[in-house]
Structure 1
Amino acid sequence: MKKRLAFLAMALMMIIPYTGTATAKAESDSYQPKREMRAAWIASVENIDMPPGKNKEEFKDWAANTMSQIENQNFNSAVFQVKPAGDALYPSDIEPWSSYITGENQGTDPGYDPLQIMLDAAHQRGIELHAWVNPYRLTMPGEELSDLSETNVAVKHSEWVVNYGDQYYLDPGIPETQEYVIKTIEELVNNYNIDAVHMDDYFYPYRIAGEDFPDSDSFDQFGENYEDKEDWRRNNVNTLVDDINTAIKSIDPSVEYGISPFGVWRNDSIDPSGSDTTAAQTNYDDLYADTRQWIKNGSLDYITPQIYWSRDFQPANYTILQKWWENEVDQYSQVHPTNLYIGLADYKVGTDTIDDTWNNPAELTEQIKDNRNHSGVEGQMHFSWSKILQNKLSYMDLVQDEVYYTKALVPEAPWNGEQKPKKPNRIKVEHNNNIYIYDNKEAEKFVVYRFEGNKEGDYSNPENIAGVVYSEGKETHFVDEEAEKDQEYTYGVKSLSSTNIESKDAKKAKTKNHNS
């Protein structure tokens, strides 16, 4: 999915140092935020992070193990790719089964629902699940239209399809394709209790030198109000982004909508308000993704620019781009705030042949520390899960030891609902530190705090978070796996709303552990 290495390395030149400032929020390298997005992308396309061909029980085991590992590494979210290319990793009335789940022909039913299994595995461990979709891509390189299922939209509506390079896409300029994409999102949000819908950087495809995207016919038919085809293309994307957000919120206002665009909006050589970079391709000029306008319109809840470069890489410097995006969100979030997360290049650690900085196992850890030093950055997403597991140069050990050694709650989105929930009705703690939480019907999930001894401690300190659990109805069960035998604890449980707002007060209980 993220096969953009060739594009990121293309013809980048020198930059001018950034002179802006940002407000520091971390007093030291040991600062641990109570709220911070810590997400892992789990890519299904070409089976980057998800193995194919598993039966239901094997897939359930894989999902459970994956989410347990994510939880144990103190991540709090997973971004699971459920619609990689005109297909679905869930039973859909609109799209065929993805070949990436079975390893067989597109349209082959695996006999189970991968998305629901992943969603259950995530929520059972207090992990958010963001459903990651690609709107327009139909094939990957080397694939032909003949490889697609007869129920694929490309087969049913060949008049919507264009060929660009060695791939096929839906033409974003045709209104019916927009309507089709929105219907697929509505189906997802109607049928699954997902926490967010997520899109990445593939709107119009990355530009191929010497080859224009073949949309002249649709421009002639639908672009009558535009003299400039590129402005029309940008409007097509802006309209889709806004309409998807409207569709999501009309079904469930608490479901977030987030996008992870390419890391450079525009170079300042083209636009003085762009970043001090020399990227050969940019969102605005090549992908027709005007990310600034989405922020202005309030069309998304979070944005995660893919700043897949090091702090020493001059043509597209991590620190320069981090500050630029922070300023964008601060300046242009006019309808409601937009949470800013940074997309991190775990896949480059120990493998990049252009920038030697990625041979330093501490580079990613230092980027996270830099994020924490800027009040406008609310966390990060890591690409991707298989690279986290590979742990090249033991870089993830450093992340765990230096920046992710406590748990963290995901950031709030109060503009989607600011009601503060009531605390749980009551809680009960049994001898194995099995905690039973009795719901007040207002909570989406609960955060469990553990304090040693018979007194409450500091609820603002993330070191006291034992874990998060999604509400299971009248009685929710949480097991404190890290509780020590025969240690006396005081537990406090607070409610979290569907927009991650925490209750003011906690319900408390005390116990002396008697693990056997």
Structure 2
Amino acid sequence: MKRYVVFLLAVFMLVPNVSFAERLTSYETGQPIVVQGKEVMLKDNLGLSSLGFRGVWVNTVWNNDFPKKAGMSEAEYKREYIQMLDKFQKYYVNAVIFQVRPSGDAFYFSNLNPISQFLTGTEGQGATWDPLAFMIEEAHKRGMEFHAWFNPYRVTHKDYEGGKEEILSKLSEQNWARNNPNSVFQAGKKLYLKPWDEKARDFIKDTVMEVVKKYDIDAVHFDDYFYPSKNLINSNGFYNEESEAYSSKAKGANVEYWRRSQTDALIQYIKTSIQSYNRVNGDNVQFGISPVGIWGTLEKHGPNSYEGAGVNIFGGAYSSFDNQFADTRKWVKEGWIDYIVPQVYWTFQQERSPYGEIVAWWADVVKGTNVKLYIGHANYKLNSKDKKEIAWTNPREIFNQLKFNDLYKDISGSVFFNATTLYDDANFSNENRRFLEVLSSELASSFEAQSQTSTGIKPKEELNVDESVKIDYAVRKTKYGNLVHWVDNYSGVSSHYVIYRVTNSAGVESKIPLSMVQKLSKTYFYIDKG
């Protein structure tokens, strides 16, 4: 097999012209889709956003995605995981966002958290091997990033009857929440770590950093679970056990402002801890957040609001700012995170939460920052057998969303929810199956086109390469040629990868490259037809 060497070089790339060929219309009415007052014209091919970051959330709570059952043998677990990653490769996935801490537990050997019941069948018992290092290695073998997904505050995932003490007694003796009841509160029938409790905050930070230090992960990932819904606030205006902390710590601040300051403190704490680790160890671990799709609406947050203007939709939409006390817009503007993945789980024609308006708003938010924007897509709705909305019977709905994202240079990729929609073939809906066929074909042809046109290097032009970089990469044959897939783990300043083909064991003998690939994300593809 041909050997490949990939070098890094800071130069500029010529960008090809792109034509527009398709007016986006409602699947139900045929009327043009209008975003920010303009009809939408889609490009005829997938562009830079679609060819950038392509992640998949792997949901472990309730064994929803993986593993499909608890208590698998090591051999069974490894076989199912490898099969899942191999399916992901068909759709050019380059990042696995794996839920390593679904509910106060761990999919790895930990000194702080009990082993997950979704791994062994019983929380804190039955673990004979540590799967996390294996999962990371298999992802990296395929040129995929591995993002460790944590649920920071959630203690219990299902409803329990009874009070806090009774529920805590059902957890394993190793569970931190059970041993630190003063750092836990009850909301409805579930338990959560107190966002306002410094001891709980330290524990969350320690949990995250244990994984950062012990495993070769590419990123830490939080999803949309912050404060529980404000619908669970008591009639006195406070969550359980919150009023005393507010009275002693808030110093007269508005209670909702104070709550947001508590989640702010956690996000800053995690960011600075990871930054410090990266600086000392020469690493490049990222920190990303995936909030609910709507930060706030223009109805509640007008153009002159101190916190910023909301998205131009109306009707009391559920939002991170107002319902979960998580100011995700602020985290972007302050640079407290490296990337954000809003869960825009709606269609273009959804009246109360239209996909286009929300995505356009987020693209404007990240503009001028160093925060990458990836969009979260609701593949699970396309795969549902019981679709609540006509637009989800359109097999091109998500494909059109990807092409719409390409209209915005500040969007760097997408993430699909959930993993089952990409690898559980036996249970695919017809719409999902057709979408995946189109996606695989279009991505392959787009990568081929990019390989042919995305470089400004003349065929015989030589380049002086100052530094070679050790990378994780994979090569596989496709009908278009040899697909090279790699992960960018270089922490220095650079803008492009320069690609050479080596057919002997001596290394690169010529300074004439095959191509250049612009740095947009951490993971990359190149198709070599030679």
Q: TM-score range by the shorter chain?
A: 0.7 to 0.9
| Distance in structure 1 (CA, Å) of the matches to 2:445 and 2:466 | 24
Shift in alpha-carbon separation, 1:191–1:501, aligned structure 2, 3 A: farther
C-alpha offsets along residues 96-144 of structure 1, whole Å, 9 cap, x if unaligned? 111110122x101421112112111111111111000011000012343
Aligned position for 1:267: 297
Shift in alpha-carbon separation, 1:238–1:22, aligned structure 2, 3 A: farther
Secondary structure at 1:296 match in 2: helix
Aligned counterpart for 1:405 among listed residues 444, 454, 457: 444
Contact 1:310–1:358 under 8 Å retained in 2: yes
Aligned-residue offset at 1:218: 2.1
TM-score scaled by length of structure 1: 0.76
| Distance in structure 1 (CA, Å) of the matches to 2:495 and 2:79 | 32
Aligned position for 1:474: none
Shift in alpha-carbon separation, 1:507–1:360, aligned structure 2, 3 A: closer
| Distance in structure 1 (CA, Å) of the matches to 2:203 and 2:386 | 38
TM-score scaled by length of structure 2: 0.74
Secondary structure at 1:326 match in 2: helix
Contact 2:232–2:239 under 8 Å retained in 1: no
Shift in alpha-carbon separation, 1:508–1:260, aligned structure 2, 3 A: same
In structure 1, stretches of 5+ residues that fail to align are: 1-15, 410-421, 426-439, 453-462, 471-494, 512-516
C-alpha offsets along residues 478-503 of structure 1, whole Å, 9 cap, x if unaligned? xxxxxxxxxxxxxxxxx862589676
Shift in alpha-carbon separation, 1:34–1:280, aligned structure 2, 3 A: closer
Secondary structure at 1:506 match in 2: strand
Aligned counterpart for 1:139 among listed residues 132, 156, 159: 156
Partner letter of residue 255 of structure 1?
Answer: V
Aligned position for 1:83: 101
Contact 1:36–1:378 under 8 Å retained in 2: yes
Contact 2:34–2:40 under 8 Å retained in 1: no
| Distance in structure 1 (CA, Å) of the matches to 2:95 and 2:386 | 26
Partner letter of residue 386 of structure 1?
Answer: T
Contact 2:45–2:446 under 8 Å retained in 1: no
Shift in alpha-carbon separation, 1:449–1:386, aligned structure 2, 3 A: closer
Partner letter of residue 76 of structure 2?
Answer: E
Aligned counterpart for 1:342 among listed residues 375, 381, 396: 375
Deviation >6 Å, runs of 4+: 20-24, 422-425, 449-452
Partner letter of residue 368 of structure 1?
Answer: L
Shift in alpha-carbon separation, 1:269–1:151, aligned structure 2, 3 A: same
Mapping for residues 299-448 of structure 1, pairs under 5 Å: 299-330=336-367, 333=369, 337-349=370-382, 350-351=384-385, 353-388=387-422, 389=424, 390-402=427-439, 403-405=442-444, 440=468, 442-446=469-473
Partner letter of residue 264 of structure 1?
Answer: I
In terms of mean alpha carbon deviation, does 374-383 or 135-144 score higher? 135-144
- The percentage of counterpart residues that share the same residue type is 29
| Distance in structure 2 (CA, Å) of the matches to 1:509 and 1:118 | 30
Aligned position for 1:127: 144
Aligned-residue offset at 1:265: 0.7
Instruction: Work out which structure has the larger RCO, using CA pairs closer than 8 Å and 6 or more positions apart in sequence.
Output: 2
Aligned position for 1:234: 260
| Distance in structure 2 (CA, Å) of the matches to 1:274 and 1:63 | 40
| Distance in structure 2 (CA, Å) of the matches to 1:185 and 1:244 | 8
In terms of mean alpha carbon deviation, does 139-148 or 37-46 score higher? 139-148
Mapping for residues 210-249 of structure 1, pairs under 5 Å: 211=234, 212-214=238-240, 215-224=242-251, 226-249=252-275
Shift in alpha-carbon separation, 1:316–1:60, aligned structure 2, 3 A: same
Contact 2:96–2:145 under 8 Å retained in 1: yes
Q: Provide the aligned length of Structure 1 versus Structure 2.
A: 428
In structure 2, stretches of 5+ residues that fail to align are: 1-32, 161-166, 303-308, 449-463, 505-530
Partner letter of residue 145 of structure 2?
Answer: E
Aligned position for 1:250: 276
In terms of mean alpha carbon deviation, does 293-302 or 356-365 score higher? 356-365
C-alpha offsets along residues 286-336 of structure 1, whole Å, 9 cap, x if unaligned? 1011011101111111100000011110100000101010011115x2xxx
